[in-house]
Amino acid sequence: MESHFEKVPLPRSERMPIAGARALGAVDPGERVEVSIYLKPRSTVPTGGALSREQYVASQAAHPDDLARVEAFAHEHDLSVVEVDAARRLVVLAGTAAAMAAAFDVQLDRFEHSGVTYRGRSGPVFVPAKLASIIQGVFGLDDRPQAQPRLRRSQPLQVTASYTPTELARLYNFPTGGNGQGQSIAMIELGGGYRSRDLRAYFQQLGIPKPKVVGVSVDGGHNAPVGSPDSADGEVLLDIEVAGAVAPGARIVVYFAPNTDRGFLDAVTAAIHDTRHAPSVLSISWGAPESAWTLQAMQAMDQAFQAAAALGVTVFCAAGDRGSSDGVEDGLAHVDFPASSPFAVACGGTRLESQNGTLLKEIVWNDGEGGATGGGVSDVFEIPVWQSQTGILPASINPDHHIGRGLPDIAGDADPATGYQIRVDGQMLVFGGTSAVAPLWAGLIALINQQLGTPVGYLNPLLYQQLSQQLRSITLGDNGGYQAGPGWDACTGLGAPDGSALLSALQNRQPAEAIQAARTETAEAR
């Protein structure tokens, strides 16, 4: 068995304790623990054009020798191999808490915070020196809740106006003549669930066919409606009903996973590499401030999104609902992850007002304590070339004023006071939040993919280099720290969509090889 001095700390695996968490003592040494080990890519992932899945596996899948080395490590430490997936570069191991602690040289304790108990660790994960060069990250030793849904439920007296998703599609001039047929829209859900009777009633009320909805279990997560619209059920139904109303011909595939960094990452890679459902769009409405993540988790998620770009899958992520602080109470500006990945389209929020089916006014969503769009400058990811080469140099309002990946990229209606009419647990309610914008755009891209006959894929370079004129810049408002203005801003990005104009521009776009692919590296945490 490996001795301690033959192991090295895995870079960027350090885990910080949650402030205010109460220690409950060591975990039961016999407790069963599963971990997901992700391996590094063999080469730079190409993102300039879509690869077939066969081409991707040939160039990017884990090498059999590397997988065998991880399996040998497991056997040396009395751990069993649960799953090996070369395309995802994933090895899942299981064993007792005592065996896991010994294998990775960590101390596992139990904690309580905000009424939730979890297994936690602090400091780095250790791996054999001979494996350190091939391991991207080890996930699952710590199972604290990782993310929150980015939705807001309106209060009855606060609603100025509300819209069905189909009404918003008309206001945003989404293309007609298609319904998303032949497309699959993937959604990541880290809790809650849906009931078919809610979906039947909702789409019957809208007068459109109910889309096919499929649930996929990841790491034991499953469709488990709580029965309260204030639970994660609200997020699940918001996502399904918004995307399904916009693109009722598309198949909605919901990947349910535990709300941990392991569950989140495993659900994302399961969706991206799902050869059965083969989604062309991925919508993510969950997130957390960058400071709440380990850097190894952010790197692994960013690598997964790079794989999505290579495979022609467009990724949309909610940018957060707590303004420029992202809910971190340290007096500084923060942004949400995974929206801050340069390989995700970060979705900001607006307040939309209309009359008689005509859009009258759209400003930044900022209702103070009632919520505000997230947005700002990443502390982790460097500025991508598709921002810098178009003259956009996002500068943080923090004291160092560093330049970095600016978000959001685009926007849509998110204010609960002008929110979305959604059916949840037998009730018609109004929801907002940037988590509504991600499935709204996902539905739009499903419509566009159908009419193009090919997936749009990695959208970010196109948005900045060829499609900015097809977005309506939002010039009024702020999110607490950043001000809106003409062109790109850290409140609403490049703006809200004109769906038909986007389709027309994409039909006449330059070939993918004429667009310089964005290459970014995860910078050291500042």
Report residue 514's pLDDT band, with 50, 70 and 90 as the boundaries.
Answer: very low
Q: What is the mean pLDDT of residues 309-330?
A: 96
CATH numeric code, 148-514 = 3.40.50.200
The tokens of 489 are what? 């801003």
Nearest to 71 by CA among 56, 57, 90: 90
Catalytic residue among 36, 435, 468, 473: 435
Q: Does residue 239 have an active-site annotation?
A: yes
Dihedral (Cα; 86, 90, 91, 96), 10-degree rounding? -170
pLDDT of residue 510: 58
Q: Which band of pLDDT confidence, cut at 50, 70 and 90, is reported for residue 154?
A: low
Q: Which of 235, 241, 362, 478 is catalytic?
A: 235
pLDDT above 70 for 159: no
Segment 467-479 shows an average pLDDT of: 97
Q: Is 513 among the catalytic positions?
A: no
* Spacing of C-alpha 322 from chain mean position: 17
Q: What is the pTM of this model?
A: 0.94
Range scoring the smallest mean pLDDT among 3-7, 131-135, 202-206, 423-427: 3-7
- Give pLDDT tens digits for 109-151: 999 999 999 999 988 999 999 999 999 999 999 999 999 887 6
Other C-beta atoms lying within 10 Å of the C-beta of residue 82: 14
Query: Which is catalytic among the residues 239, 409, 413, 498?
Result: 239
161 burial type by CB count under 10 A (0-12 exposed, 13-18 middle, 19+ buried)? middle
Question: Could you give the CA distance from residue 494 to residue 386 in angstroms, rounded to a whole number?
Answer: 13
In the structure encoding, which two tokens stand for residue 526, read together?
Answer: 């500042």
* Residues 381 and 465 sit within 8 Å (Cβ to Cβ): no
Residue 344 bridge partners (DSSP): none
**Who wins on pLDDT, 51 or 354?**
354
Percentage of the chain with pLDDT > 90?
A: 87
Q: Is the pLDDT of residue 3 over 60?
A: no
Average pLDDT, the chain: 93
Per-residue pLDDT at 105: 97
Tell how many helices (H) and how many strands (E) occur in the chain. 12, 27
Which secondary-structure segment (H or E) carries 24?
strand 22-26
Query: Range(s) for CATH 3.40.50.200 in the chain?
Result: 148-514
